[in-house]
């Protein structure tokens, strides 16, 4: 997290060589420390500790306070060894003393629950937006272990479900039939999609139900030429193609194109790729039937799956994201033909990145208007009063997402 690498990527690189049991423990420790960082830091008084020992102390304290399956002596001794390797013999003594003192006074349930698991500025923001009860539900969802969701690709959904169950996976439909929720039959086991039946054959892609609903909401007409302008890692491109659009997938970052190529190839879709900055897209104005802008954002709707995100973002980051999002949406608009579709989407919960971007755009671009398609998604729960799509994690059991469907009317 400190180096700017997303949690899941950093975690998977670090534990790839471990045995399955050790990998499961590493997953739990990494995510747990991030979720409970505020409580751990307050307990440890890290202001007096060598910065090199902060994560060592957090790991040890998390095991002592939250993991019953790790004996206290093992948690302490492992942390002492890590401290010795990290900062020398004196550091190991400091860690040993700090953790043993902590282990002698375990907290009660009420004490642990009293410490927020999110930055207080973020909880205040959400309380103003959603109210205290909804904010409490959102924080609880972010601290949970959400199900993995997959979408059918080369295989159909009934075949996927059958093979998964035969492999010992617990399977249930995602809300609104937006994919399959996958859990291990044994809760302590972690999920590794490359080991699932059909992965190598391209039978499925890993994609949250919210992303599937964004693609349905987009309602790109079959056969329409669609530019997915911020496409990596490619899940929405695959889904848009399966729903009938003829997709070209672009992304500004060459390193992300590698994963995009892998995912498109495995899913077996006829999608061309290019490396391009949407602000300087190599297409004539008005040349596309549809453009989808899945804009880079603060991703506050995905904190259950990315527990590091709650500590990475700042109010300034929201403002910076919104500045770029406005530019991207205006650039995308130039590419849409008259009568064509422009879809703006994020996985953020913040109004500055969502409806405020759309309202600002529509104020300055009078040639566009909102154009949601009736019954494209369940209207009763998922659409805002303005007709945009919004999913809320604790309400809908999926990532938080926003999308606006616009049309060039002249």
Q: Annotated active-site positions, please?
A: 347
Task: Give the angle subtended at the CA of 383 by the CAs of 399 and 263, to the nearest 5°.
Answer: 40
Count of CB atoms within 10 A of residue 237's CB? 30
Q: Which of 272, 264, 327 is nearest to 295 (CA)?
A: 327
Peptide bond into 233 cis (omega under 30): yes
Q: Which of 134, 218, 207 is nearest to 396 (CA)?
A: 134
Name residue 134's beta-bridge partners.
none
What contacts 131, CB < 8 A, 6 or more positions away? none
First to last CA, the chain: 46
In this structure, are residues 211 and 235 in contact, taking their beta carbons and an 8 Å threshold?
yes
What the block records as the tokens of 147 is 């199900």
In 242-334, which ranges are E strands?
A: 246-251, 272-275, 288-294
In this structure, are residues 229 and 281 in contact, taking their beta carbons and an 8 Å threshold?
yes
Torsion-angle region of 131 (φ positive above 0: left; ψ -120 to 50: alpha; else: beta): left
Residue-by-residue DSSP string for 55-119:
HHHHHHHHHHHH-TTS-HHHHHHHHHHHHHHHH-HHHHHHHHHHHHHHHTSPPPHHHHHTS-SS-
In this structure, are residues 407 and 358 in contact, taking their beta carbons and an 8 Å threshold?
no
95/102 Cα distance (integer angstroms): 10
């Amino acid at each position: 997290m400190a180096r700017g690498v997303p949690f899941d990527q950093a975690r998977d690189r670090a534990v790839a060589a471990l045995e399955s049991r050790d990998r499961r423990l590493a997953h739990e420790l990494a995510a747990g420390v991030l979720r409970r960082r505020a409580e751990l830091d307050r307990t440890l008084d890290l202001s007096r500790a060598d910065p090199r020992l902060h994560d060592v102390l957090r790991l040890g304290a998390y095991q002592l306070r939250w993991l019953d399956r790790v004996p206290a002596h093992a948690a302490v001794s492992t942390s002492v060894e890590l401290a010795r390797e990290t900062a020398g013999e004196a550091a190991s003594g400091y860690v040993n003393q700090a953790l043993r003192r902590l282990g002698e006074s375990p907290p009660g349930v009420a004490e642990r629950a009293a410490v927020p698991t999110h930055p207080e500025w973020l909880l205040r923001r959400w309380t103003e937006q959603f109210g205290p009860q909804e904010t409490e539900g959102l924080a609880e969802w972010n601290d949970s272990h959400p199900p993995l969701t997959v979408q059918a690709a080369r295989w159909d959904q009934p075949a996927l479900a059958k093979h998964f169950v035969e492999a010992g996976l617990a399977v249930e439909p995602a809300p609104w039939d937006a994919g399959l929720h996958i859990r291990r039959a044994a809760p302590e086991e972690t999920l590794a999609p490359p080991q699932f039946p059909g992965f190598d054959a391209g039978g499925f892609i890993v994609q949250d139900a919210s992303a599937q609903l964004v693609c349905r909401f987009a309602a790109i007409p079959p056969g329409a030429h669609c530019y997915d302008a911020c496409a990596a890692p490619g899940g929405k491109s695959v889904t848009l193609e399966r729903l009938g659009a003829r997709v070209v997938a672009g992304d500004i970052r060459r390193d992300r194109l590698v994963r995009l190529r892998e995912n498109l190839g495995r899913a077996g879709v006829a999608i061309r790729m290019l490396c391009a900055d949407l602000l300087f897209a190599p297409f004539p104005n008005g040349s596309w039937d549809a453009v989808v802008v899945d804009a880079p954002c603060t991703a506050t709707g995905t904190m259950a799956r990315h527990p590091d995100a709650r500590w990475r973002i700042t109010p300034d980051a929201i403002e910076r994201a919104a500045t770029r999002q406005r530019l991207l949406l205006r650039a995308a608009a130039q590419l849409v033909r008259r009568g064509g579709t422009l879809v703006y989407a994020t996985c953020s919960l913040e109004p500055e990145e969502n409806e405020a971007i759309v309202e600002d755009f529509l104020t300055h671009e009078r040639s566009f208007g909102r154009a949601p398609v009736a019954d494209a998604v369940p209207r009763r729960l998922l659409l805002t009063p303005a007709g945009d799509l919004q999913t809320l994690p604790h309400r809908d059991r999926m990532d938080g997402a926003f999308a606006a469907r616009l049309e060039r009317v002249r």
